[in-house]
Chain A
Amino acid sequence: MEDQDRKKVILTLRWTAIIVTSYLILFGRGRVTDLQLSHLLIAVYLLSNVLLTFVPKKWFSNTKLFYPLVLFDTGIVSFGMYLSEKMTTDFYLVFFLIIIFASISRNFKMLMVIGGITALLYGILLYSWGLLITEDSSSYTLRIPFIFIMTAFYGYIVQTLTKEKRQELTISEDKYRGLFENANDGIILLRNPQLIVVDVNREVEKAMGYTKGELLQREVFDLFVPEEMEESRDYFKEVTEKGEGRADCLSLMKKDGSLLEVDLSTKRIDLGDESFYQIIFRDLTEQRRLEKKIRQSKRNLEAIFDGIRDQLSIQTPDYQIFRVNRAIIENYKLTYKELFGRKCYEVYFQRTLPCEKCPISVTIETKQPASSIMKLSERDTTLQIFSYPILDEKGELASVIEYMKDITEEQRLHEQLIQSEKLAGIGILASGVAHEINNPLSGIIGMAEIALEEEDPSKIRSYLTDIINCSERISEIVRGLKSYSRAAKKGELGLVDINEVLEESLKMVRLATKKTPVEVIKKFQSIEKIQANMGEIQQVFTNLITNAFQAMDGKGGNLVLSTRSLKDSVEVKVSDHGVGIPQKYLNQIFDPFFTTKNPGEGTGLGLNIVYRIVTKYEGTIDVESKEQVGTTFTIKFPTRRVEV
């Protein structure tokens, strides 16, 4: 009921009660012992209701207001009755009857009917006794509406109170039921101390496969798997002692006999004089399955991590090692404990600061993978180091994986390949050179034979001059070969002047390709020397210049060799006006064994070796070519190269 209505109804009822009571006192014409007291009483009653009009509406919804109100009104009315002295015993009886009716009644309408009947019966009674025709009849007549009004008043108040209470109960019951039934966890209510199931929620039915009816009245231990009887008894013993308890190692038994691993939490609940245990459990089957899966995938990853024969180490962004694979433990002969927390550069490279070319530093800075090659001269080892970032959910760098691959053997094979290509190159060169030598040699033999048969000294002199010229040509070729083989020796790293190398290479190639009508244009700038193996750099340019000459074979043209300095590198261009490279071959020319030459004329390794050598020194090589126009190779070598 609305607060507004409630206040109005109570005030109206009270006004009516006041009027009726006042009439009873004033017009009862009884022996009012103390008229003044009667007037005071009426005034107090009136005042109380006037004051009540100022009470805020919402107070009327508080049942606590009703108790003093009922007490007060009952007191006033009883006192008024006493003062009028006309109230005979029967009236008191009726009054208290009204209070009893009102207290026990649950239905307002029924109460009003009862009030009406009582008033009617009382009226009939008075009439039959002839009291309504005496001189005091008015006081008797007034009793009838009084009965009715008082019934209504008390009835309303009692009704309101009980209704309120019932409503509250219904609401809290509904709330609890809702929570209970819709919980995602299974809830079982047990009666204390028998530990017998008195209620279960839907989740329990779903998880265990039983219906509620099948579970009610069963002892709680019946719900657990028989093998864990001991443990479940221990658990409930603890719960009854402490009033609550948790367990995550018990399993319930489903109707089909299978296990239900659960996380249990039990608590005692006291409701009035009854006591219960509330068990809340969560199905752990899925969680356990996931845990198992996670453990398995973790084991798999660990096996892969440890199975990789290259060294893997995970570092924090401040270079501290926190995870390494077996290859590292075996290689450095240190235990994990000895490695943990130490800086990677201290352990792996015996340094006090991060390595200058460290890819981890790059990854820390950019959050991108990086790589570099480190030569460890003291261990005679070459490592290729890759670093990969591990990011957290926010995209921040959590750690860095360092992957160290020992490429010493690979490097050695690479060098071997270069060497063997060099030998093959020398072979091809040698046949060219042999041809160059055979011509003057034929001249020498032929002229000598003629000179032997000739008698004219002037003619002999002319023949001998020819022989000397031929011999000089041969010795020139031999000198060139010598300088080439000197450069081709397996050399250590040194500072290489590329301009000088270009001159040497050109001289060498010229020996074998004398007849190609090529004009060589040199555009050399003074450039920084690079740190490299002289022989390898010479091979790069010998190969490129040889190709250029071959491209212009029989056709002629210009060979342009140019060098210049860039910011961090030196650039070399080898340009020819030769036949050019067909577009379709451009992306294959650096592949090993790719050749368009006839068998026996080219190894298909020349440009591949060029590529490998250039990239070994972290240089780049680009090619531009147009058929029948020419080809330009552009090579750049970095000038700042730091070796560890």
Chain B
Amino acid sequence: MKRKVLIADDEEVIRKFLRIHLDKLGYEVMEAADGEQAIEQLGKDDFDLLICDIMMPKKDGWEVIKEVKSNPKTKNLPVIVLTAKNEDPDMFKGYDLGANYYITKPFTKGQLLYGLKLMLEEPASSL
């Protein structure tokens, strides 16, 4: 069974190339263009990974992570924060909220693959 990944980012071009990478790796990819859509998708389906942007309209990434981690159903879902906010306080805030990995924009394919490997091939949920 294919592993399911949700990409939540308001930037279309980023969703586009992430999907290409993840397709190649054999994941099933779903997209959300803002925070509300992301929560909606998470409610409908079971996912193996959430890649979440922070600065999104309607509901920002912090809110999404808070809701994911406070919901018993999704509380063990690994979350990779993908953001242009690259200062240390932001990173700490991300981890405090329960994010499992943190990638700052701009990033390379290598950084992404490392994160994916860490989250999905290792027993990521126990991190």
Contact = CB atoms under 8 A, between A and B. Distances in A.
B85 interface: yes
Contact of B84 (A438, A445, A446, A554): A438
Given A431-B87, A434-B84, A442 B106 contact: yes
A290 to B, nearest CB: 72
A450 B17 contact: yes
B38 to A, nearest CB: 15
Contacts of A439: 11, 14, 84, 105
A442 B11 contact: yes
B127 interface: no
Contact of B108 (A435, A449, A469): A449
B55 A515 contact: yes
A440 B10 CA distance: 12
A55 to B, nearest CB: 127
A219 B16 CA distance: 128
A517 B58 CA distance: 9
Interface in A398-447: 431, 434-436, 438-447
B13 A469 contact: yes
Main secondary structure, interface of B, reads loop
B14 A442 contact: yes
A441 B106 contact: yes
B87 A446 contact: no
Contact of A443 (B17, B21, B57, B85): B17
B13 A443 contact: yes
A470 B57 contact: no
B18 interface: yes
A244 interface: no
A428 to B, nearest CB: 12
Given A466-B13, A466-B16, A442 B87 contact: no
Contacts of A554: 57-58, 60
Interface residues of A, number: 23
B89 interface: yes
Interface in A437-465: 438-447, 449-450
Nearest to A449: B109
B11 A517 contact: no
Given A438-B86, A439-B11, A445 B106 contact: yes
Contacts of A445: 106-108
Residue with the greatest number of chain B CB neighbours at <10 A, chosen from A434, A438, A447, A469: A438
Contacts of A515: 10, 55-57
Nearest to A437: B84
A424 to B, nearest CB: 15
B17 A435 contact: no
A11 B17 CA distance: 153
Given A443-B11, A446-B17, A447-B13, A600 B89 contact: yes
A101 to B, nearest CB: 136
B23 to A, nearest CB: 11
Contact of B55 (A435, A449, A466): A435
A588 B41 CA distance: 44
B1 interface: no
Contacts of B14: 439, 442-443, 446
Nearest to B87: A431
Interface string B1-39: 000000000110110111011000000000000000000
Interface in A213-243: none
Residue with the greatest number of chain A CB neighbours at <10 A, chosen from B20, B85, B104, B105: B105
A620 B109 CA distance: 55
A148 B34 CA distance: 150
Interface in B59-96: 60, 84-87, 89
Given A438-B84, A515-B57, A450 B10 contact: no
A445 B18 CA distance: 11
A77 to B, nearest CB: 142
A588 B99 CA distance: 38
A518 B107 CA distance: 30
Interface of B: 10-11, 13-14, 16-18, 20-21, 55-58, 60, 84-87, 89, 104-109
6 contacts: A439-B14, A439-B84, A445-B108, A446-B18, A515-B55, A515-B57
Interface of A: 431, 434-436, 438-447, 449-450, 466, 469-470, 515, 517, 554, 600
Closest 10 CB pairs of A and B: A438-B84, A443-B13, A446-B17, A435-B84, A438-B105, A441-B106, A442-B105, A442-B106, A449-B109, A439-B11
Given A436-B84, A441-B105, A446-B107, 11 more contacts: A435-B55, A435-B84, A438-B104, A438-B105, A439-B14, A445-B108, A446-B14, A446-B109, A449-B109, A515-B56, A515-B57
